[in-house]
Structure 1
Amino acid sequence: MSEKSASLYRMATDEHTCPFGLKSLDLLEREGYAVEDHKLTSREETDAFKRQYHVSTTPQAFIGGERIGGYDALRKYFGKPPVSSEAVTYQPVIAVFGTAALMAIAANWSAHGALLTVQAAEWFISFSMCILAILKLRDLESFSNMFLGYDLLAQRVMRYAYVYPFAEALAGILMIAGALKWIAIPVALFIGGIGAISVHKAVYIDRRDLKCACVGGDSNVPLGFVSLTENLMMVAMAVWMMFK
């Protein structure tokens, strides 16, 4: 046995493998522990373990004979920050714009044999619009609930909250193709302009603390600069296409 050893009890049945058990195992191994991995392969075995150690959940990790607890407790034991689904984060935004930028560069490289051109910048905005629209459309009800909290037009015409993601997707797709500009330009100007005004009023005038619906209704991204940027990008792209 290694000097650093731990025991882990985690649920791993034919029907369910506990993700937090796997995360606990990975964390222990990354911290240099030799892990005695005890798989609880049935509901009966899991319930018996809980009764024996007077715990209500699995996994449970033991180090030096001392029970540390589940995945969150294990992270705390190793001095790592807690993982919370409720925490404010910009990770979805970084993922969207980072992926869109790489897609634009890749498409531009394939089409023009160059990494950065004006076309790449156009595609970056268009791809970003499409990705953001997909995130909204995957749960339209949740998006509309959050969107109605601050969008000025949606608060007056409720159905606009359901139309917005489709309009954003349509404008983005047409901008990628460079086609039907007579549709893409007014749609982008309209939804981008209303959106920018709404966000500016909610955040910078009314000083409201809201979550941004830009990456979907389950977002923990704070309303503010990101959503304002999304809308201003649409407006800028529309103006650019007008005079291009």
Structure 2
Amino acid sequence: MSEQKTAVLYRMVMDKHVCPWGLRALALLHHRGYRVDDRWLRTREETDAFKAEHGVATTPQVFIDGVRIGGHDDLRRHLGLRVRDPKALTYTPVLVVFAVAALLAAAASWSASGAILPVKVAEDFIAFSMVILAMLKLRDLDGFVTMFLGYDLLARRSVTYARIYPFAELGAGLLMAAGALTWLSVPVALFIGGVGAVSVFKAVYIDRRELKCACVGGDSNVPLGFVSLTENLMMIAMAVWMLFAH
């Protein structure tokens, strides 16, 4: 029978602060089958003394077989696991929005009729997507405006349009979900979706610029491209459908 692997973990556990990265490192070590000697740094003075003794700038710190591995990310690398790059481009935020909107649409259809009706689900999916995306933009309106100005053709002519855009998207999405005031929601969705589609197409496929999309807010790492174009095309499709269906 092989001897259980052991590790020593130093982490901050204070009255007003428990280091989350220390907890994550502890959970990861346990998950990988290590017996952990969990040593708490209970005061700021104790933490500073530990850092000075070992010549490190941060805690937690993991030691395996007497060798310092480092913090949580260093531990992941040591174990052969991927470490997230906060600057890496990813479509994950938009895909999560679309997945949640689709589930909400299916749930709404089931609640209303006891069945998942494809047409109703498709309508609500687009409307719910618009509402969620607008909400993400409104978390940090100034950040959204700054990123949006990087590629939207109309926003570059009028910063006011950039500030109004999330509210217009939110309003149109809510009206479409409610099936109300089609005379207002349809032209709004057609306008902002049309301008957005043209702007994204020009920036990405004509000018060949590498930009980040403001679709989920101004702090995102979503690349401007096909997914961004899809958001605008969905708005246009929804508006055209409602124009004829309602």
TM-score by length of 2: 0.97
1:1-244 matches, within 5 Å, as 3-244=4-245
Contact 2:4 2:33 in 1 (8 A): no
Report deviation, 1:214. Answer: 0.3
Shift in alpha-carbon separation, 1:116–1:39, aligned structure 2, 3 A: farther
Q: Out of 81-90 and 149-158, give the one that drifted further.
A: 81-90
1:22-48 deviation digits (Å, cap 9, x = unpaired): 111111111111111112121111011
Report deviation, 1:73. Answer: 0.7
Runs of 4+ in 1 over 4 A off after TM superposition: none
Report deviation, 1:72. Answer: 1.2
Q: Out of 193-202 and 12-21, give the one that drifted further.
A: 12-21
Report deviation, 1:117. Answer: 2.5
Report deviation, 1:163. Answer: 0.4
1:68-100 deviation digits (Å, cap 9, x = unpaired): 000111111011122121111111112101100
Residue identity in the other structure for 1:91: T
Report deviation, 1:212. Answer: 0.6
How many percent identity over aligned positions? 65
- What is the rounded CA distance, in whole Å, between the counterparts of 2:194 and 2:13 in structure 1? 52
- What is the rounded CA distance, in whole Å, between the counterparts of 2:196 and 2:15 in structure 1? 48
Residue identity in the other structure for 1:19: P
TM-score by length of 1: 0.98
Unaligned runs of 5+ in 1: none
1:153-197 deviation digits (Å, cap 9, x = unpaired): 000011111100000000000000000011100000000000000
- What is the rounded CA distance, in whole Å, between the counterparts of 2:38 and 2:142 in structure 1? 42
1:118-157 deviation digits (Å, cap 9, x = unpaired): 1111000000000000000000011111000000000001
Q: Out of 164-173 and 10-19, give the one that drifted further.
A: 10-19
